[in-house]
Structures are given as C-alpha cells and as structure tokens.
Amino acid sequence: MTNSSDIAYIWAKKSRDTFKYLPLLEHLRDTQTVALYLWQNTLPDGTRDFLQSETNAHAAEILTFLALIHDIGKASPAFQDKKCCQNELDEFIKNGLFAAGLSYDTMTEAAIRACPHNLAGQALLEEYGIHSSVSCIVGGHHGMYGDSPRRNSNPNAFGKSDEWKSAQRYIFDFAVSESNFDITTQIPKTAQVILTGLLLPKKQAKAVSISLCRHRQLQTAYSRVY
C-alpha cells in the first residue's frame, strides 16, 4: 500500500538556484490554502451564493477537492522527467523515484509535450470515474481546455508500473478524503468556468497579493505556489 513517504520524491516545483524541490503533496496543500482564502475572503457574495446554488451547497468541498487534485498529472513520468537547471538535483530526485519503484524510460521532448500535466490529470480523473464536468476543470487550470491523452496510448508517459498507478490513486484518495468530495458530482457549465478561474495561477496571484502581510499561513503557501 502506498503512503506519503513513497511519493516524497514526486516533485511539483524545482529550484533553479538552490538544491531544493517542493514535493507534490505540499504543493497541493498550499494551493488548497490559497483557493480557500479566495473563497472565504475575496469572492463576491453573489458569486459565492451562485456557486452554492449550482452545487447543492457543496461548492467549498468541490473547490477543496479541485485544489488538492489539480496537479495530479504531475505524478507521471511525462512531468517527472522534466529537467531543471541543476543536473545534480534532477539525478537526486530521479534516484529517489526509482528507489520507490517509480521508474520510467527516459522521455523525449516530444513525448513530454504530448502529455501536459493538466490534461494528464484530466485523464486520470476520468479513469477514476469522475464526471467530465469536473475533470475538465483540472484540464483547464492553466487557462485552456483540451482533449486529454489516455494511458493506453502512451503508457510510459503515465507510468507503466503498478507503483505509478498506486501513487496516482493515493493522491486521488487523499484529495477525496480531505475534501469530503462526492465522486458522483456533476457541475453546470457556468460554475465550471468560475471554479476554473479560482485555480488559474494568475487570477490567484492578483487576488491574494494585497493580503499577504496579514496572513502568515497564506504568505507561506502563496510563496511556494508561485
């Protein structure tokens, strides 16, 4: 059974200047902190009420789930094989992944581009039975919607081993459990657009930046998300 230590080397961000990386689970929690701040403090009352009416009063749980799951596509060889400016850090992370059973064949640049993490995340959610009205928000969280790739068309990009499948499922189960998300949820189109906007990095940055000095937890999360 996969646990958090098994996926500790799955990275979300790597430093260009120091020998540091941000593990994916920490990044997902940081995004949750920022997204819930937006929900509670910056979203107009009318918009919040509209989302509640469109989601049977479960908008906060849905947003929490989306924040915790939005980058699940980074838990894949197509993303993990991306290089930074530091070869030693790349090798350190790769060795940790392989030691945890998360091995993969070296990816070409074309193969990596063919499986962007946002659309890989959309595909994984649909693989788990999540409705397309929810999964498309993950697919669109960088501002553009698209058709998601499939594991059977590029198995190395998603991870061929049981360990990769287990790690991805662990992240999904973690997000469902933490958010109390109903996996049968469907979201109307207008609500989809608003929820996607709450996950867009540039929208989050503009809304949060003026309040950082008053919220230490938010400041820490924000600095690591961006």
Asked if residues 175 and 69 have their Cβ atoms less than 8 Å apart, the reply is yes
Residue 206 pLDDT:
46
What CATH topology corresponds to 4-225? Hypothetical protein af1432 (1.10.3210)
**Residue 81: HSE in the Cβ half-sphere, 13 Å Cα cutoff:** 21
Residue 1 pLDDT:
61
Residue 225 pLDDT:
53
Asked if residues 68 and 175 have their Cβ atoms less than 8 Å apart, the reply is yes
Per residue of the chain (226 residues), give pLDDT as tens: 677 788 999 999 998 888 999 999 999 999 998 888 889 988 899 999 999 999 999 999 999 999 999 999 999 999 999 988 788 999 999 999 999 999 999 888 888 888 999 999 999 999 999 999 999 999 998 877 777 777 777 888 999 899 999 999 999 999 999 999 999 999 999 999 999 988 876 545 544 444 444 455 555 654 565 4
Residue 201 pLDDT:
61
Asked if residues 12 and 22 have their Cβ atoms less than 8 Å apart, the reply is yes
- 17: how many CB neighbours lie within 10 A of its CB? 8
Task: Report the C-alpha gap between 60 and 40 in whole angstroms.
Answer: 9
Residue 6 pLDDT:
84
Total residue length of the chain? 226
Asked if residues 10 and 74 have their Cβ atoms less than 8 Å apart, the reply is yes
